[in-house]
């Protein structure tokens, strides 16, 4: 019996969600189930592909190619354009820039002949490729034009995705203030139904922009970043199943608070994020946030990097927890064991050891401590 407590459109969304979950596991279902040919489902499919491009590029290319094949069979130009857009994104995520360029060339004519939405999507995909190939100024010009021409009917989410790309273009042009402004607005305007990767990545960019800021201007930008983060925290309050976003928020907020000298609150946020990432991973993220917290604990006074004797036990506990509970690769395990020796024999060198490890780790959130 259908659940009559749900409105008809609510039941339809639930059915599409279940079908989309099946398609995520097996893209061949697209060609076996007639429901996959409906425009509403195709829109959901494109969002799935964009989300995978942000988190699982290998899966993204498989699903995007299947989406192109499906829409070609359907024969609706608008849907074909949407599929070409997500295929461009998948190629960019895999750093297949030549392939992305070829799909864009195919997309261009059809986009301009279809509608404003397709034209804007094409331009944003073009700008995305320009950013990835370090032609940030050209990308910014395209996105400036898109945002200026988007009317109210475009919706905040469409504009937010343009800002998401433009903030990276500003970053590459060494304009962290404008990059942060776009990132902050994107966090406030992205629709909750958008792929979660947009939120997670934008939070990481906030830290990237602070890292690229000169020391004398960092505090002012950090204060603005914290304002955006706190407003975003309030915006997502009460949302269920947003653990990945909240974990990233703990991490970035903690790093920003540390920059601002609020070490107690910074340690609280970093500890919350560390405990969560110990459970959910990825492993390198769990180690990186543990190192960030350890660097913070190494500070006894504002200008001192020698851990207070009362903090040495905490540093050893954090380090040992990583060694005991995480599935570390050989390199990380060796580095953490070396730090364990430093903490036991020469704790005054702990900050230097943690700092060297953090600089050598390439993870989404850069080290700010």
Q: What's the 3-state SS for the chain?
A: CCCCCCCHHHHHHHHHHHHHHHHHHCHHHHHCCHHHHCHHHHHHHHHHHHHHHHHCHHHHHHHHHHHHHHHHHHCCHHHHHHHHHHHHHHHHHCCCHHHHHHHHHHHHHHHHHHCHHHHHHHHHHHHHHHHHCCCHHHHHHHHHHHHHHCCHHHHHHHHHHHHHHHHHHHHHCCCHHHHHHHHHHHHHHCCCCCCHHHHHHHHHHHHHHHHCCCHHHHHHHHHHHHHHHHHHHHHCCCCCCCHHHHHHHHHHHHHHHHHCCCHHHHHHHHHHHHHHHHHHCCHHHHHHHHHHHHHHHCCCCCCCCCCCHHHHHHHHHHHHHHHHHCCCCHHHHHHHHHHHHHHHHCHHHHHHHHHHHHHHCCCCCCCCC
- Give the pLDDT of residue 356: 96
- Give the pLDDT of residue 150: 85
Tell me: pLDDT of 1 over 50.
no
- Rounded Cα gap, residues 12 and 17, in angstroms: 9
151 or 330: whose pLDDT is higher? 330
**For residues 350 and 294, is the Cβ–Cβ distance under 8 A?**
yes
Tell me: pLDDT of 300 over 60.
no
Tell me: pLDDT of 301 over 50.
no
**CA torsion, points 198, 277, 57, 366, in degrees to nearest 10?**
70
- Give the pLDDT of residue 7: 41
Of 333, 254, 262, the closest CA to residue 302 belongs to 262
**For residues 160 and 190, is the Cβ–Cβ distance under 8 A?**
yes
Segment 136-156 shows an average pLDDT of: 88
> Which pLDDT band holds residue 304 (cuts at 50, 70, 90)?
low
- Rounded Cα gap, residues 146 and 114, in angstroms: 16
- Domain ranges (residues) in the chain: 240-369
Tell me: pLDDT of 302 over 90.
no
- The residues, any chain, with a CB within 8 Å of residue 10's CB and separated by 6 or more, are none
pLDDT tens string 275-299: 999 999 899 999 999 999 999 998 7
**For residues 341 and 267, is the Cβ–Cβ distance under 8 A?**
no
Segment 96-116 shows an average pLDDT of: 96
Average pLDDT of the chain is 92
pLDDT tens string 50-90: 999 999 999 999 999 999 999 999 999 999 999 999 999 99
Tell me: pLDDT of 239 over 50.
yes
Tell me: pLDDT of 187 over 80.
yes
Tell me: pLDDT of 192 over 90.
yes
- Give the pLDDT of residue 74: 96
Segment 186-214 shows an average pLDDT of: 95
Percent of the chain whose predicted confidence (pLDDT) is above 70: 93
């Amino acid at each position: 019996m259908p659940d009559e407590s749900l409105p008809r459109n609510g039941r339809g969304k639930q059915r599409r969600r279940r079908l989309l979950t099946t398609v995520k596991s097996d893209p061949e279902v697209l060609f076996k189930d007639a429901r996959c040919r409906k425009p509403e489902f195709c829109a959901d499919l494109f969002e799935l592909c964009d989300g995978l491009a942000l988190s699982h590029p290998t899966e993204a290319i498989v699903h995007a190619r299947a989406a192109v094949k499906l829409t070609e069979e359907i024969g609706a130009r608008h849907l074909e354009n949407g599929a070409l857009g997500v295929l461009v994104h998948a190629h960019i995520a895999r750093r297949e820039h030549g392939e992305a360029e070829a799909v864009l060339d195919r997309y261009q004519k059809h986009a301009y002949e279809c509608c404003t939405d397709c034209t804007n999507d094409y331009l944003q995909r073009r700008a995305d490729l320009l950013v990835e190939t370090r032609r940030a100024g050209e990308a910014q010009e395209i996105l400036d034009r898109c945002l200026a021409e988007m009317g109210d009917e475009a919706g905040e989410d469409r504009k937010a995705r343009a800002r998401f790309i433009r903030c990276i273009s500003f970053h590459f042009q060494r304009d962290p203030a404008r990059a942060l402004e776009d990132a902050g607005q994107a966090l406030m305007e992205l629709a909750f139904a958008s792929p979660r990767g947009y939120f997670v990545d934008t939070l990481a960019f906030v830290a990237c922009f602070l890292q690229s800021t000169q020391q004398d201007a960092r505090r002012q930008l950090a204060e603005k970043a914290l304002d955006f983060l706190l407003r975003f925290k309030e915006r997502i309050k009460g949302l269920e199943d947003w653990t990945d976003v909240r974990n990233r928020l703990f991490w970035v907020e903690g790093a920003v608070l540390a920059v601002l000298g609020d070490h107690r609150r910074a340690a609280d946020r970093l500890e919350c994020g560390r405990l969560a990432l110990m459970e959910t991973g990825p492993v390198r993220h769990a180690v990186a946030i543990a190192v960030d917290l350890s660097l913070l604990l190494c500070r006894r006074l504002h200008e001192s990097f020698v851990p207070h004797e009362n903090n040495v036990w905490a540093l050893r506990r954090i380090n040992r927890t990583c060694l005991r509970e995480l599935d570390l690769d050989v390199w990380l395990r060796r580095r953490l064991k070396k730090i364990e020796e430093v903490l036991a024999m020469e704790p005054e060198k702990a900050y230097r050891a943690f700092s060297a490890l953090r600089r050598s780790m390439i993870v989404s959130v850069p080290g700010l401590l």
